[in-house]
Amino acid sequence: MTSLWLAVVLAAVGCYLLKLAGVSLPESILNHPKVQRVAQFLPVAMLSALVAVELFDGGRRYALDWRILAGVTAGVIALLLRRGFLVVFLVAIGVTALLRLIT
């Protein structure tokens, strides 16, 4: 087994075990009101961090592709217009692809 194969298997199993650990926490911990509040806030903080990192992370430095930013901004407009998930997705990649084509 090459080291790449070993890393692939360990990473895949490790990511599964992290998910399993999350759903195996004792009920007494989960029912605590503060834990419930933390649980509600966690996806919000992390999804927001993912948006920021996807937009501005250039690999340990800041980078921004304005075409991606324009595409995501178009996606935000779609969200404000209460469009569905797929519309937001298609608008974002469509605008980005178009800008990349014409610039």
How far is residue 15's CA from residue 9's CA, in Å, rounded to a whole number?
10
Burial per residue of 19-32, b for 16 or more beta-carbon CB atoms within 10 angstroms, e otherwise: eeeeeeeeeeeeee
Q: Residue count at the site for another protein (CB under 8 A)? A: 75
Q: Applying CB under 8 A, does 1 fall inside the site for another protein?
A: no
Q: Applying CB under 8 A, does 7 fall inside the site for another protein?
A: yes
Q: Applying CB under 8 A, does 21 fall inside the site for another protein?
A: yes
Give the ranges where the chain is alpha helix by DSSP (H).
3-23, 27-30, 33-56, 66-80, 85-102
The least distance separating another protein from the CB of residue 30, rounded to whole angstroms, comes to 6
Q: Indicate which single residue of 1, 28, 40, 102 sits in contact with another protein (rule: CB under 8 A).
A: 40
Q: Applying CB under 8 A, does 86 fall inside the site for another protein?
A: yes
The least distance separating another protein from the CB of residue 28, rounded to whole angstroms, comes to 12
Backbone angles phi, psi at 100, to 5 degrees: -70, -35
Q: Applying CB under 8 A, does 43 fall inside the site for another protein?
A: yes
Q: Applying CB under 8 A, does 39 fall inside the site for another protein?
A: yes
